[in-house]
Amino acid sequence: MASVAIKIVGLTLIYFVGWYICEKLFKAIKDKFGNQVKQPKQNVPSRKKVVPLASITPIDQTWRYIKSLKSPDWRVRKIACVQLGERRGTAVVQALIEALDDSKEDVSLAASEALTKIGDPAAIEALALYCKELEYSTNKYFESHRAA
């Protein structure tokens, strides 16, 4: 048992002595050859530092999507409806209720899906009215094609 302890102490001493010698050796090399390292040019314009992502605060996109519902492009309006379906709030529900009356059917369907996903009680009446209008327009479309 004592021989194991002696071996551990011996190896520890060898380790630290080796560490000390290497440290002194590298310091001597650095002192001797350290001035030969090329220094960066002072007149080169430096790049802007990149801000770490952790320091950037997340911006709430809700108002951006609500404003996008007024876009002339129907695809942007549809994407805004889909994205607003992931959010909550009275402003979101009101904007989606207004989007139910969109001239493009894809946008109004996306708005109805978003409202059902949110599940706000304020949207129930608007969704019921929208479903009636959708049923009426579907029946009208069906009748016009059936008559032809």
* One pLDDT digit (tens) per residue for the chain, 148 residues: 778 888 888 888 888 888 888 888 888 888 887 766 566 566 656 666 665 545 443 446 788 889 999 999 999 999 999 999 888 888 889 999 999 888 898 999 999 999 999 888 888 888 888 888 877 777 776 677 666 5
Burial of 110 (0-12, 13-18, 19+ CB in 10 A): buried
Instruction: Look up the pTM and report it.
Output: 0.54
Burial of 109 (0-12, 13-18, 19+ CB in 10 A): middle
Burial of 82 (0-12, 13-18, 19+ CB in 10 A): middle
Which residues, 6+ apart, have CB-to-CB distance to 99 below 8 Å?
A: 69, 77, 81, 107, 108, 110, 111
Element (H, E) at 82: helix 74-84
Longest dimension (CA), the chain: 106
Token readout for 109 is 């369907």
| Alpha-carbon gap, residue 117 to 133, rounded angstroms | 20
CA 84 to chain centre: 15
Q: How wide is the angle at C-alpha 111 spanned by C-alphas 106 and 114, nearest 5°?
A: 125
| Alpha-carbon gap, residue 71 to 103, rounded angstroms | 12
